[in-house]
Amino acid sequence: MPVPTESSPEGFSVKTVSEERAPLPSAVPPLPTNEPDSSAHGPGPLGVWSHGSRWPIEHRVLAGFGLVFFGILVISAVSYRNTTVLIENSRLDAKSHELIQLLDGVGVALDDAERGHRRYLVTGEEIYLASHRTIAERAPEYIRYMKELATGVPNQQALVDELERLITQQVVAESSATTARKTKGYGAVRQMALEGAAKKQIEAIHGIITRMAAEENQALRRRVGESTSSTRSTIVLLGIGALLLFVLLATVYYLIHHDITERRRVAAELQRRGELLEAANKELEAFSYSVSHDLRAPLRHIDGYAALLEKNASASLNEKARRYLSTISESAKQMGQLIDDLLVFSRMGRQEMLRTVVNLDQLVKNVLHDLRHDLQGRSISWTIGSLPQVQGDPAMLRQVLANLIRNAVKFTSTRSLAKIEIGCDQSNPSEAVLFVRDNGVGFDMQYAAKLFGVFQRLHRADEFEGTGIGLANVRRIIHRHGGRTWAEGALDQGATFFFTLPIQTVSP
């Protein structure tokens, strides 16, 4: 017995979904890759994004552009800040210059007023009071303007307040001296005329004006330094930023360019392989044609001449010789069957496939009708569930069902009451899982993967007939329909053959 007798009771729980494909014709060489290390980290043999990183190209390009964007943002922010500083500084500079000018003017005006006032005290001529009067009149205005210019600089504000106080004192002192000169005459104000009515204040005022001017000049110098360094840093930043952006963009360009080149190479390679495959297919077709034509002829001759020999010489042949002759015939027939099956199998791979709506219920009925002669003398209990409509090639799917049902009938032939169930599990909305279950001789699950191979048989030729091509055909057809095949079973406890088909979606 080629099939070991130990059976696994858990055989049903094991599910074997072996999806091996028919091997490619040897005329197609393996695809060469121009990166020797691509297998180390590439996702597949074509290695579309296998260039040194596990990141796909899209992410890397995106990251590159992200960095470029971030860089532009940083440069813009820093440039904006520096430019704002420059604008603010130039505004402050204008204010400083104005303040310095104003202080200068006020100093000169106060000096003029003081000199004029002293002359008045000496001469008593009112005309010399003009400057004093102007100052007395306009001092508050100057002060207000100064305060405005000194806004935001507490030091200077304090000095302006001090200045205001001193100027007021000077004006008051001079006014009271004027009154004294008018009412009491020169004698009362002689000392004042020599020294000035507000000598102390004038000196203090000049001191403050000098301090304020010095302070403004210092601020001006500070801001010039600040502006210069800010401008320099902006220029440096722009330079470095531009360089970095250039490098980043160049990298991204390289990535994209490399990717495109790689894709082009792969596309060209795929096309080349497609052409090779097509050529190989043509060759295969020619091969199977010549097999069909030439290989069968000698077999026909073997069988034919054996038959003629038996006919013409049967009288002189003994029992043994006749048995030899019949063995010769049998072998020739068997090989003929094998060739025919192989041809069907090879045709199945090449044949154009139809895509129509297939009513599996109807197909099962047709298959059972075809089988009616084989079913004579058998008692079989059929359980046939409702089957869905699928998309596919009716002739091919009919062959699938015929193969599976024929197998079920064949492998239950030793049962007094055979049970065969055909059904469908439609719990998955996208694919239908169909099965053909029997209570026949079953198989050992450890050979489940072999079931769908070409010329794989799990039973002796004298137990069950067949060439071992049926399930290989089933697998090939189902694969071409985008489905899967597998089998479950246990020795002497029946078998279930499953296949899936994409469900026909209801089009509006």
Partner 1 sequence: MTVTKSILLAEDNPRDAELALAAMEEHHLADKVVLCHDGAEVLDYLYCRGRFKTRLHGNPSVVFLDLKMPKVDGLEVLRVIKADDQLKPIPVVMLTSSREERDLVQSYALGVNAYVVKPVEFHEFLNAVKESSMFWGLINEPPPEGLGPAADRWRSR
Residue ranges that bind partner 1, judged by CB under 8 A: 289, 292-294, 296-297, 299-301, 303-308, 329, 332-333, 335-337, 339-340, 343, 347
Per-residue CA distances from 472 to 53, 283, 450, 453, 485 (Å): 42, 22, 10, 5, 10
Q: With respect to partner 1, which residue has the nearer C-beta, 439 or 467?
A: 467
Q: With respect to partner 1, which residue has the nearer C-beta, 78 or 328?
A: 328
User: Closest distance between partner 1 and the C-beta of residue 377, in Å?
Assistant: 24
Q: With respect to partner 1, which residue has the nearer C-beta, 312 or 381?
A: 312
Reading the block at residue 269, the tokens are 């390679």
Comparing C-alpha atoms, which of 25, 163, 152 is closest to residue 92?
152
Q: With respect to partner 1, which residue has the nearer C-beta, 6 or 352?
A: 352
Q: With respect to partner 1, which residue has the nearer C-beta, 294 or 319?
A: 294
In whole angstroms, give the CA distance from residue 261 to residue 103. 74
Reading the block at residue 226, the tokens are 């600040």
Q: With respect to partner 1, which residue has the nearer C-beta, 343 or 449?
A: 343
Q: With respect to partner 1, which residue has the nearer C-beta, 307 or 449?
A: 307
Asked if residue 483 lies in contact with residue 500, where contact means CB atoms within 8 angstroms, the answer is: yes
Comparing C-alpha atoms, which of 73, 143, 52, 78 is closest to residue 106?
143
User: What are the phi and psi torsion angles at 382 (to 5°)?
Assistant: -95, 135
Q: With respect to partner 1, which residue has the nearer C-beta, 222 or 300?
A: 300
User: Closest distance between partner 1 and the C-beta of residue 452, in Å?
Assistant: 25
Q: Which residue type, as a one-letter code, is found at position 105?
A: G
User: Closest distance between partner 1 and the C-beta of residue 409, in Å?
Assistant: 24
Q: With respect to partner 1, which residue has the nearer C-beta, 93 or 340?
A: 340
User: Closest distance between partner 1 and the C-beta of residue 465, in Å?
Assistant: 15
Reading the block at residue 328, the tokens are 């010769």
User: Closest distance between partner 1 and the C-beta of residue 296, in Å?
Assistant: 5
In whole angstroms, give the CA distance from residue 338 to residue 330. 12
Q: Give the strand pairing for 356-359 and 389-392.
A: antiparallel
User: What are the phi and psi torsion angles at 136 (to 5°)?
Assistant: -60, -35
Which residues lie below 8 Å from residue 442, measured CB to CB, with a gap of 6+? 7, 411, 489, 490, 491, 492, 493, 494, 495
Q: With respect to partner 1, which residue has the nearer C-beta, 255 or 306?
A: 306
In whole angstroms, give the CA distance from residue 344 to residue 347. 5
User: Closest distance between partner 1 and the C-beta of residue 333, in Å?
Assistant: 5
Q: What's the gap between Cα 330 and its chain centre?
A: 63
User: Closest distance between partner 1 and the C-beta of residue 366, in Å?
Assistant: 22
The length of the chain in residues reads 508
Q: With respect to partner 1, which residue has the nearer C-beta, 168 or 351?
A: 351
User: Closest distance between partner 1 and the C-beta of residue 281, in Å?
Assistant: 14
Percent of the chain that is helix, strand, coil (3-state, to 5): 65, 10, 25
Reading the block at residue 354, the tokens are 């139809």
In whole angstroms, give the CA distance from residue 87 to residue 97. 15
If one counts every other C-beta atom within 10 angstroms of the C-beta of residue 39, the result is: 12
Q: With respect to partner 1, which residue has the nearer C-beta, 243 or 395?
A: 395
User: Closest distance between partner 1 and the C-beta of residue 367, in Å?
Assistant: 22
Q: With respect to partner 1, which residue has the nearer C-beta, 165 or 296?
A: 296
Secondary structure of residue 54 in the 3-state scheme: coil
Continuous segment of H or E residues that includes residue 421: strand 418-425
User: Closest distance between partner 1 and the C-beta of residue 283, in Å?
Assistant: 15
Q: Helical H runs in 50-129?
A: 57-123
In whole angstroms, give the CA distance from residue 294 to residue 307. 21
Asked if residue 150 lies in contact with residue 156, where contact means CB atoms within 8 angstroms, the answer is: yes
User: Closest distance between partner 1 and the C-beta of residue 475, in Å?
Assistant: 23
In whole angstroms, give the CA distance from residue 357 to residue 499. 18
Asked if residue 2 lies in contact with residue 444, where contact means CB atoms within 8 angstroms, the answer is: no
User: Closest distance between partner 1 and the C-beta of residue 468, in Å?
Assistant: 18
Which residues lie below 8 Å from residue 329, measured CB to CB, with a gap of 6+? 302, 303, 306, 307
User: Closest distance between partner 1 and the C-beta of residue 287, in Å?
Assistant: 12
